């Protein structure tokens, strides 16, 4: 049974940092797939933030977070991270970890992700 469990959210002031973690059970990263972080703010649609192709470690970022956020994976811990620096109030949202089925390439469409975590809240105050 696949489970994705996010942690690391919280409240910070603008300019601060947070690191989100997504612990994965039920599969390993050796079956190449895409792991992604998405977010959804109240009244807005869910949007992709950062993606990582687990085989090859190619990464992709939304324009709004380029240069500030970094996605990475730890194969030994079966965990994906999102390091978020220089946080802005507009980064406030519920952040979700997601995974595609195996052997799928990264894409920004949330429909392509078969597995989702429960989310972790990030709140950035000005």
CB 40 within 8 A of CB 94: yes
Q: Where are the alpha helices (DSSP H) in the chain?
A: none
Q: What is the pLDDT of residue 56?
A: 83
Q: What is the pLDDT of residue 39?
A: 98
The rounded distance, in Å, linking the Cα atoms of 20 and 15 is 16
Q: What is the mean pLDDT of residues 86-96?
A: 98
E strand intervals along 8-119: 10-13, 18-25, 34-40, 47-53, 59-61, 69-74, 79-84, 93-99, 115-116
The rounded distance, in Å, linking the Cα atoms of 66 and 80 is 18
Per-residue pLDDT tens for 23-36? Answer: 999 998 888 999 99
Provide the percentage of residues in the chain whose pLDDT is more than 90.
94
Q: What is the pLDDT of residue 30?
A: 83
Looking at every residue in the chain, the average pLDDT score rounds to: 96
Q: What is the pLDDT of residue 63?
A: 98
């Amino acid at each position: 049974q696949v489970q994705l469990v996010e942690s690391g959210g919280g409240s910070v002031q603008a300019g601060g940092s947070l690191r989100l973690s997504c612990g994965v059970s039920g599969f390993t990263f050796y079956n190449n797939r895409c792991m992604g972080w998405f977010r959804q703010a109240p009244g807005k649609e869910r949007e992709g933030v950062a993606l990582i192709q687990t085989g090859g470690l190619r990464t992709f970022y939304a324009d709004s977070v380029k240069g500030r956020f970094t996605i990475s994976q730890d194969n030994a811990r079966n965990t994906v991270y999102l390091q978020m620096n220089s946080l802005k109030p507009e980064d406030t949202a519920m952040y979700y970890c997601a995974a595609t089925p195996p052997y799928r390439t990264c894409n920004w469409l949330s429909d392509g992700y078969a597995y989702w975590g429960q989310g972790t809240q990030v709140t950035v105050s000005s």
